[in-house]
């Protein structure tokens, strides 16, 4: 087996039933598509990936609006980017596990196929036995090839989607950098020995400024009220 799946040593012997098992909750379709020269067409791949997204099997990249709305922080469980990355990681994990699941069976089937050829002249095996191993090995080869195509196509679409959001991501990063500076400035205040006194002073200053603003508004309202009363007397006399 390949080092990609951590395979070491001899190929495990499997029964026909074990070799023909289907990976549970995998991303491969129930029946393989037409494959020309061993490969599925790009048209089929794009359509199939679209159907996986429609079924919720593949995540779609969050909208710029949802990213911007969380630019200054949100609970991790509500972070659209974090959720998207987690789901993408799960897709990668599923594809890897599915590939290794079929690779183990592929090598076991290939070993049985080669062994049946070697034993034919000794045990008098019929060609139908060899053909059966050949068909199974060919099917598993197609599944492995399709998984690699699917993983590659998903990666390309992922890259294109992220690239299209580059300007929005830059905007988010700018907001995050601004927020980071604010947090660092606040951190400096909190770490001072006089943090409580400094904050109290700022609160007093804020309250004083607020009171001044309120007083200015009250004065303005008072002037407007005097003018309104004068207008009423004027209208009444005329």
Give domain limits for the chain: 3-182, 193-237
Per-residue pLDDT, 198 = 66
User: What's the pLDDT at 224?
Assistant: 59
* Cβ atoms of 130 and 120 closer than 8 Å: yes
pTM of the shown model? 0.64
Percentage of the chain exceeding pLDDT 70: 57
The tens digit of pLDDT for each residue in 133-171 reads 888 888 999 999 999 999 999 988 887 776 666 665 566
Q: Report the range of poorest mean pLDDT among 103-107, 128-132, 179-183.
A: 179-183
Contacts of 225-232 with C-beta under 8 Å, sequence gap 24+, read none
Confidence (pLDDT) at 78: 61
Output the average pLDDT for the chain.
75
- pLDDT for 5-23, tens place per residue? 776 667 788 999 999 999 9
């Amino acid at each position: 087996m390949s080092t990609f799946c951590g395979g070491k040593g001899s190929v495990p012997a499997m029964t026909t039933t074990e070799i023909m098992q289907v990976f549970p909750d995998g991303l491969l379709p129930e029946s393989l598509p037409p494959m020309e020269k061993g490969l599925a067409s790009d048209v089929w791949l794009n359509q199939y990936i679209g159907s996986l997204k429609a079924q919720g099997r593949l995540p779609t990249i969050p909208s710029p609006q949802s990213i911007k709305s969380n630019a200054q922080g949100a609970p991790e469980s509500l972070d659209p980017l974090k959720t998207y990355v987690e789901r993408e990681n799960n897709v990668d994990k599923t594809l890897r596990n599915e590939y290794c699941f079929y690779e183990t069976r592929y090598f076991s089937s290939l070993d049985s196929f080669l062994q049946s050829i070697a034993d034919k002249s000794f045990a008098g095996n019929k060609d139908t036995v060899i053909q059966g191993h050949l068909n199974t090995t060919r099917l598993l080869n197609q599944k492995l090839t399709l998984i690699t195509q699917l993983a590659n196509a998903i990666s390309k679409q992922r890259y294109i989607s992220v690239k299209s959001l580059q300007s929005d991501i830059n905007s988010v990063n700018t907001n995050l950098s601004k927020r980071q500076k604010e947090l660092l400035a606040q951190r400096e205040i909190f770490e001072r020995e006089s943090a409580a006194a400094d904050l109290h002073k700022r609160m007093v200053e804020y309250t004083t400024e607020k009171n001044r603003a309120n007083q200015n508004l009250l004065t303005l309202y008072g002037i407007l009220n005097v003018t309104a009363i004068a207008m009423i007397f004027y209208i009444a006399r005329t």
